[in-house]
Structures are given as C-alpha cells and as structure tokens.
Structure 1
Amino acid sequence: MNQPPPEPISPPAAPVRGRELRADARRNRERVVAAAQQLFATEGLGVSLDEVARRAGVGPGTVHRHFPTKEALYLAVSIDQIAQLVAEASTLTATDDPAALFTLLSRMIANGIENILVKSALSAIGFDLRTAAPELAHTLTAHVETLLARARTADLARDDVTPREIMALIAGALHAAAYAGEPSPSHLGAIILDGLRPQVR
C-alpha cells in the first residue's frame, strides 16, 4: 500500500544572530551559493572566495560575512543541492508516474557526480550531511520510500530492496565515480538502477 507523500519543506536559511536573514541578504547568499556550486564543479576547489564574489556579483565582504571559511561554503553548497533534490522529489511524488523513482535516482546520481569534489572535501574533514541537514536527508529518504512503493505496485522495482539500501547505493555511486575518474553519470546510473528492477528468471 502506497504511503502518503511527505510534506515538502523549505531549504534551511542561515540565521543571523538568531534572526532570519533580510530579503536582500538572503538573495545575496543564494547568489553566492549558486556561483560557488558552478565554479567548484567547473574549475575545482582552488577557486578563491574573492572569485566566487566576483561571479556572484557581490563584494568580497558579503561572501566572507556569510561564509568565513571555504568549508562553510562547501557545506552550504551541498545542503543547497540536497534542498533542490528534495524539491524535485516532491514534484515527482505528486505525479502518478510509476517510474518516477528511477527519474529521481538518476538525478541524485548525476547531482552527486557533478558535485563530487565538494562532497569529497566535506567527507575528508568529517562532515556528514545526514547530521548537518537531518530534516532534508529524512525528507528525501521518505520520498524515495514513497516512490519505491509506487514502482513496486507497477512491478517496476524488485520487492527485496529497502529505501536505506537504495540510499546506500546512491552513496556508493559517488565512491565508484571517484574511483573511475570521469565516468558518464548516465551510464553509471543505468548500471546501478538496472539492479533495482525485477530480475527475469
């Protein structure tokens, strides 16, 4: 029996001295995070905070005020990516598409590979996004559980896999990507997702 879809949640906002950011400060922060994500993915982690500020169209002081260290910016980029995946998952859960599970997982794998440098840097310094953004991680897993139940009802997914195992497979895909060097996200995703489909005996 399909579970009811979880309620969508908003991405976390950075507090300023216990208060929510003003609208203009929030917009600046979002621009910085978006610019950083693009620069880290295309030019690597050696990009300076000043270059991030230039690409975002804000002053260096704005970046340093929101993100006093590179690690703080890495974490913000990763949390923002999870928030975007949660939004996509919410949209897919609201549809009737029985194959939506595979659409979401393909996106999760592609997103993870695209941001593999940032995720590896966070892992190296001991950050775990499941504890850094537990509500987002829980909601994403809940969407996977709902979509998995739907796929099973349509005989599109095997009966002996759990949502936790699926999330572990996605995490494993990132390690596989790092090992392979520069794999094709679509090819790597196809290999992993084929294992979730019912096996022909």
Structure 2
Amino acid sequence: MSSQPHKPTPAKFPTAHGSDRELRADARRNREQVLRTAQQLFATEGLGVSLDEIARRAGVGPGTVHRHFPSKEALYLAVAIDQIEQLVAEAETLAATDDPAALFTLLSRMMANGAENAAVKSALSAAEFDLRTAAPSVAADLTRHVTDLLDRAHAAGAVRHDLAAEELMALVAGAFAAIRHAGAEASPQRSAHIARLILDGLRPQPR
C-alpha cells in the first residue's frame, strides 16, 4: 500500500505589524535625503559629482541611489521636479495669507531656486528634457498658483495692471537666463540683486 509523500507546510515567518509601511516610509526618507544631497552637491560642486559620492554624502548605500535613480539624467530630472514641488508647497502657504505682495515673495523664491539649480536646468535643456512635458501636473500647479497670486496682486493694486500670467512666467524664465549670463549663479547676493531689478519693473508705475 503506497502512501502519498508528506508535503511540508510552508514556513510562516513572523512579520511585524506595519513593517511594509515602515519600509516604504524608510525608502521615501532615503529618496528625499538623496535628492536634497544631490541638489546641494550639484549647486556647490557641479554636475561631475558621482552617484556613489552622492550616496556617501547622503548616508545611504550606492545601491539605494542606483535603485531610485538608474542614471544621472534621471537624478537631474528628479531634483528639478522636487524643487518645483517645494515651490508649489510654498505657493500654497502664501495663498493662505492675506498678503497682496505674496506674489513677489513667490517670484523671488522661484528666481533664487533657478539660480541655485542652474546647472541642473542646463543639463536637462541639453538633454532636451522639458519639465512641462516630464511633470505636467506639477508645472501646471505652479503656474496656477502664480496666476492666483497675480490676480490677488492686481486686485490690491500691488502689481502693474498690464501684466499677464504668461508674460510673468516668461519674465521668470528670462531672469534665469540673465543670472546665468551675468555668471551670478554661485552668488546669492548678485542673483538676488538681478531678481530685484526685474521684480521692481513689475510694480505699479508712477503716473
């Protein structure tokens, strides 16, 4: 009389409640740390810094960086999108205030951000990456907040009446070009001075 071979019961390993969630949270923290570190190193040391060096400075293993960002271009793009997301969050905070000049606060930050990340933006342009195409919803959110703050500034008479949102976004892009042309990317004081000159032109003109 033959008997069926005994099939072992699959082992069940104990798992801590919420461990998957904690792993995801840990992975998010690592990714954010890599992005912050990369942004700082690109701004201060240039784009030549290696992924392994970014990992070392961020306090994570090289595999963590390569897993999230398989190439330098992917990291450039992620840094740029992360910076826009931070600007959107700042715009939302400003929108919750009653300050009619909040538009100028946001524009100053956008121009400073552009100066800080000039190398990354240049690399993306050289690779023919368009952030409006790569991250359309984030770019649209920022444009929407700028438009809303511009409407508030118009209503309060804090900005010249003939300024449209499309022209404003073009002037911000022009500010990035002016800062690069002046070689002021590495000087917060000089880049801020150029930004102020541009922003002063947006204020109501004396009659």
Verify same fold: TM over 0.5: yes
Number of the residue aligned with 1:100: 102
Q: Which has the higher contact order (CA 8 A, sep 6+)?
A: 1
Correspondence for 1:193 among 188, 195, 199: 199
Moved more, 66-75 or 180-189: 180-189
Correspondence for 2:172 among 170, 173, 185: 170
Q: Which runs of 4+ in 1 moved over 3 A?
A: none
Number of the residue aligned with 2:122: 120
How many Å separate the matches in 1 of 2:57 and 2:205? 48
Correspondence for 1:59 among 42, 58, 61: 61
TM-score, with structure 1 as normaliser: 0.87
Number of the residue aligned with 1:158: 160
Structure 2: gaps of 5 or more residues: 1-22
SS in 2 for 1:112: helix
SS in 1 for 2:33: helix
How many Å separate the matches in 1 of 2:179 and 2:134? 23
How many Å separate the matches in 1 of 2:170 and 2:141? 16
Shift of 1:28: 1.0
Moved more, 112-121 or 21-30: 21-30
How many Å separate the matches in 2 of 1:139 and 1:196? 22
Q: Deviations over 1:84-128 (max 9, x none)?
A: 000000000010001000000000000100110000100111001
Number of the residue aligned with 2:45: 43
TM-score, with structure 2 as normaliser: 0.85
> For residue 199 of structure 2, what is the amino acid of its counterpart?
L
Shift of 1:167: 0.8
Shift of 1:185: 2.1
Number of the residue aligned with 1:77: 79
Moved more, 160-169 or 174-183: 174-183
How many Å separate the matches in 1 of 2:36 and 2:96? 26
Percent identity, please.
72
Q: How many residues align?
A: 181
Moved more, 181-190 or 191-200: 181-190
